[in-house]
Amino acid sequence: MTTTTPAMDFGPALNSVLDTVDRWQEEGNYPLFPVIAEPLGTRARLADGRLVSVFGSCDYLGLSRHPAVTEAAVAAVQRFGTHCYGTQPVGGFTELHRELESSLATFFGTPAAALFPTGMQANIGVLATLAGPGDAVLSDQLNHGSITMGGRLSGARLVTFRHNDLADLEAKLIAAVGDRRRIIVVDGLFSADGDFAPLAGIADLADRHDALLIVDEAHSGGVVGPHGRGAAELLGVLDRVDVITGTMSKAFASTGGFACGSERVMRMLRHSAGAYLLSLGLVPATVGAAVAAVRVATEEGQRLRTRTADNASALRARLREAGVNIGASEAHVVLVHIGRVDDTARIATRLLEQGFLVNPLFPPAVPIGGARLRIGVTSAHGRDEIDAVAKAITHAQTC
């Protein structure tokens, strides 16, 4: 771009995004893009020298610093280098990728798994493959944006039902009786609300109305359920889910997405999903780390999950006692509801200044007027850190 390129007009909606960002920066209320100089587990040194407690991470089992995981990432680079030859069907699939597929399938108790470059692409690829013109995709209104994108890209009729509202879902399934196929898709644990989908009721409706059921276990996989298999296991419906989607970017302390389900569906994804075929295979370091993380989540998972759950329940209790509005939060993702975007940006900035990194969520990730903070609780947090962040949030809300 030359210096003579005229300022680009993005249109009123997008221009207002940049206006807001400019205003936050001028007022000293800009909480985004903190530059991390040194990650230290639940603490991090920022580039300006500040030490912060990290509550903005989804490393729910604390595996990103586990020696078995970091050593596996290094060993993968030493053996396979930093890159892979191509997309998965043409050279981007090593013995490590094969091992990760089979360990994810074993972990989630499904016949097969397929790896995607990201969890976002897993959702897009699964929906755009399983649904098509003539079908109805029934999607919870608070589902992750990548599910909405996949539903739109599929060419199916995208029908949104009210959040966790079984009656509304049933009404919409009945209205979809003339569609070729009905596909229900939900987040197992809603990451912007912290509540679980009522999966037992949803599975009953799927049976009654001959619908497929897809559950995104991005935030719940590895973390909840007797074996860490996610919300579907926790709620006793694992064997009634047709396809699980998920990510290695949270409890599995790496990056990359996956789908788990029948061998036939996985083969179809591997041979036809654009979101699978059009990006390079996952690089060896991320695959090596994820293989080790799945192993640790199997071998040490019970202890780590208990610790995450105890930490989360302590934080929820502290915040509720202090009168902080955490809405429906019932797991390790705890939401602090604030409302206005400016207030949310200001509070997140103050918290960062006081040494707490949390995630501010703004529309469109949440509804207009529903800006909030997301606190990710992990097994690695100490109870002193939980107490300190609860105190800081309570104080920041009242200032």
Residues at the contact surface with ligand PLP, assessed by CB under 6 A = 118-120, 123, 144, 146, 187, 191, 216, 218-219, 247, 249, 257
Active-site residue, 250 included: yes
What lies within 8 Å, CB to CB, of 24 at 6+ separation is 30, 31, 342, 345, 349
Euclidean distance between CA atoms 106 and 177, whole angstroms: 35
Q: Minimum distance from CB of 187 to ligand PLP (Å)?
A: 5
Check if 313 is active-site.
Answer: no
Residue 49 exposed, middle or buried by CB count within 10 Å (0-12, 13-18, 19+)? exposed
Query: Which residues, at least 6 apart from 181, have a Cβ–Cβ distance to it below 8 Å?
Result: 131, 134, 135, 136, 211, 212
Nearer to ligand PLP, 248 or 351 (CB): 248
The number of C-alpha atoms within 13 Å of 339 and in the hemisphere containing its C-beta is 3
Catalytic option among 53, 139, 154, 191? 191
Nearer to ligand PLP, 179 or 187 (CB): 187
Residue 321, H or E segment? helix 301-321
Residue closer to ligand PLP, measured from CB, 146 or 397: 146
Q: How far is the CB of 216 from ligand PLP (least distance, A)?
A: 5
CB of 246 to ligand PLP, least distance (A): 8
Q: Which is nearer to ligand PLP, 301 or 376 (CB)?
A: 376
Angle at 377 between CA 261 and CA 389, to 5 degrees: 165
> Least distance to ligand PLP from the beta carbon of 252, Å?
10
The single residue of 250, 332, 337, 381 carrying the catalytic annotation is 250
CA dist 23 and 34 (Å) reads 17
Q: Which is nearer to ligand PLP, 218 or 352 (CB)?
A: 218
CB–CB of 156/176 below 8 Å?
no
Q: Which two tokens stand for residue 336?
A: 């602090």
At closest approach, how far in Å is the CB of 317 from ligand PLP? Answer: 25
Q: How far is the CB of 119 from ligand PLP (least distance, A)?
A: 3
C-alpha distances out from residue 250 to 59, 172, 382, 387, Å = 5, 32, 19, 23
The answer to whether the beta carbons of residues 271 and 242 sit under 8 Å apart is: no
Given 66, 172, 219, 381, which residue is catalytic? 219
CA angle at 186 for the pair 183 and 344, rounded to the nearest 5° = 145
| Residue closer to ligand PLP (CB basis): 56 or 119 | 119
User: Burial, 231: exposed, middle or buried (Cβ in 10 Å; 0-12, 13-18, 19+)?
Assistant: buried
Query: Any idea which residues carry the catalytic annotation?
Result: 191, 219, 250
